[in-house]
Amino acid sequence: MHIISVMDAKREYDYTIEDYIQAIKLNPNTIEIYSNRGVEHTHKGKYALAIEECAKGIKLNPLDPEVFSNRGVAYAYKGDHERAVEDFAQAVKLNGRYALAYYNRGVFSYKKADYPQAMKDFSMAIQCNAENAAMYYNRGMVHNALEDYRSAIEDFNQAAAVDPKYLAAYMSRAVMYAAAGERDKALAELSRLIAENPTYTAPYINRGVIYCESGDSGRALEDYTQALKINPNHAVAYADRAVAYYKKRDFDRAIDDCAGALRLNPSYALALMNRGVFYYSKGDFDRAVEDITQGLKCQNAFADAYANRSAAFISKGKFHQAIDDATCALKLKKGHLTAYLNRGAAFTHVGNYDRAIEDYTSGLGLNSQAAELYMNRGSAYTQKREYDNAIADFSAAAAIQPDNAEIYTNRSNVYYQKRDFDRAVEDATKAIQLNPGLAEAYSNRSAAYVQKRDYTKAIDDAGAAIRHNPVMAEAYISRGVAYIQLNEYQKAMKTFVEVLKINPRLPQVTAAIEMLRNLT
Q: Name the residue among 160, 150, 154, 106 with its Cα closest to residue 128.
A: 106
CATH fold of 1-129 reads: 1.25.40
Read off the pLDDT of each residue in 487-509 and give the average, rounded to a whole number.
93
pLDDT at 64: 87
Written in H, E and C, the secondary structure of 334-345 is: CCCHHHHHHHHH
Q: How confident is the model at residue 5 (pLDDT cuts 50, 70, 90)?
A: very low
Does the predicted TM-score (pTM) go above 0.85? Answer: no
Read off the pLDDT of each residue in 22-39 and give the average, rounded to a whole number.
51
Q: What is the DSSP string of 406-465?
A: HHHHHHHHHHHHTT-HHHHHHHHHHHHHH-TT-HHHHHHHHHHHHHTT-HHHHHHHHHHH
- Helices (runs of H) and strands (runs of E) counted in the chain: 30, 0
pLDDT, tens digit, 9 for 90 and up, residues 255-268: 999 999 999 999 99
Backbone angles phi, psi at 420, to 5 degrees: -100, 80
Is the predicted pLDDT of residue 119 greater than 50, yes or no?
yes
CATH superfamily of 403-519: Tetratricopeptide repeat domain (1.25.40.10)
Written in H, E and C, the secondary structure of 9-43 is: CCCCCCCCCCCHHHHCCCCCCCCCHHHHHHHHHHH
pLDDT at 32: 52
Contacts of 318 (CB under 8 A, 6+ apart): none
Is the predicted pLDDT of residue 9 greater than 60, yes or no?
no
Q: State the Cα–Cα distance between residues 104 and 135, nearest whole angstrom.
A: 10
End-to-end CA distance of the chain: 44
pLDDT at 61: 86
> What is the pLDDT of the chain when averaged over all its residues?
90
Is the predicted pLDDT of residue 398 greater than 50, yes or no?
yes
Q: Is 469 helix (H, G, I), strand (E, B) or coil?
A: coil
Q: State the Cα–Cα distance between residues 391 and 226, nearest whole angstrom.
A: 52
Q: State the Cα–Cα distance between residues 306 and 267, nearest whole angstrom.
A: 17
Q: Taking a C-beta distance cutoff of 8 angstroms, is the pair 433, 403 a contact?
A: no
Q: How buried is 28 (Cβ within 10 angstroms: 0-12 exposed, 13-18 middle, 19+ buried)?
A: exposed
- For 349-424, list the strands marked E by DSSP: none
Q: State the Cα–Cα distance between residues 488 and 482, nearest whole angstrom.
A: 9
Q: Name the residue among 322, 287, 320, 294 with its Cα closest to residue 308.
A: 322
Contacts of 3 (CB under 8 A, 6+ apart): 281, 311
Q: Taking a C-beta distance cutoff of 8 angstroms, is the pair 105, 121 a contact?
A: yes
pLDDT, tens digit, 9 for 90 and up, residues 410-439: 999 999 999 999 999 999 999 999 999 999
Q: State the Cα–Cα distance between residues 307 and 4, nearest whole angstrom.
A: 9
Name the percent of the chain lying above pLDDT 90.
Answer: 75
Q: Taking a C-beta distance cutoff of 8 angstroms, is the pair 444, 428 a contact?
A: yes
Q: Taking a C-beta distance cutoff of 8 angstroms, is the pair 14, 171 a contact?
A: yes
Q: How buried is 407 (Cβ within 10 angstroms: 0-12 exposed, 13-18 middle, 19+ buried)?
A: buried
pLDDT at 76: 86
pLDDT at 300: 83
Tell me if the domain spanning 182-280 has CATH number 1.25.40.10.
yes
pLDDT, tens digit, 9 for 90 and up, residues 476-492: 999 999 999 999 999 99
Contacts of 194 (CB under 8 A, 6+ apart): 200, 203, 204, 207
List where CATH 1.25.40.10 sits in the chain.
Answer: 1-129, 182-280, 403-519
Read off the pLDDT of each residue in 365-385 and give the average, rounded to a whole number.
97
Q: State the Cα–Cα distance between residues 501 and 512, nearest whole angstrom.
A: 15
Q: Taking a C-beta distance cutoff of 8 angstroms, is the pair 100, 66 a contact?
A: yes
Q: Name the residue among 420, 419, 470 with its Cα closest to residue 443.
A: 470
pLDDT at 112: 84
pLDDT, tens digit, 9 for 90 and up, residues 312-330: 999 999 999 999 999 999 9
Contacts of 499 (CB under 8 A, 6+ apart): 473, 476, 477, 480, 506, 509
Read off the pLDDT of each residue in 276-287 and give the average, rounded to a whole number.
97
Read off the pLDDT of each residue in 165-174 and give the average, rounded to a whole number.
93
Q: How confident is the model at residue 80 (pLDDT cuts 50, 70, 90)?
A: confident
The number of residues in the chain equals: 520
Q: State the Cα–Cα distance between residues 75 and 55, nearest whole angstrom.
A: 12
| Integer CA distances (angstroms), 226 to 194, 203, 220, 222, 232, in order | 11, 11, 10, 6, 10
Backbone angles phi, psi at 333, to 5 degrees: -145, 100
Q: Is 146 helix (H, G, I), strand (E, B) or coil?
A: coil
Is the predicted pLDDT of residue 172 greater than 90, yes or no?
yes
Query: 94-103, 300-309, 343-352, 438-447: which has the minimum mean pLDDT?
Result: 94-103
Task: List b or e across 182-204, with b for residues whose CB sees 16 or more CB atoms inside 10 angstroms.
Answer: beebbbebbeebbeeeeebbbbb
Is the predicted pLDDT of residue 463 greater than 90, yes or no?
yes
Q: Taking a C-beta distance cutoff of 8 angstroms, is the pair 26, 39 a contact?
A: yes
Query: 26-30, 41-45, 112-116, 200-204: which has the minimum mean pLDDT?
Result: 26-30
pLDDT at 328: 96
Q: State the Cα–Cα distance between residues 239 and 246, nearest whole angstrom.
A: 11
Q: State the Cα–Cα distance between residues 77 and 144, nearest whole angstrom.
A: 23
Is the predicted pLDDT of residue 4 greater than 50, yes or no?
no
- Alpha helices, DSSP H only, in 97-250? 99-111, 115-128, 133-145, 149-162, 167-179, 183-196, 201-213, 217-230, 235-247
Read off the pLDDT of each residue in 382-392 and give the average, rounded to a whole number.
97
Q: How confident is the model at residue 34 (pLDDT cuts 50, 70, 90)?
A: low
Is the predicted pLDDT of residue 281 greater than 90, yes or no?
yes
pLDDT at 27: 39
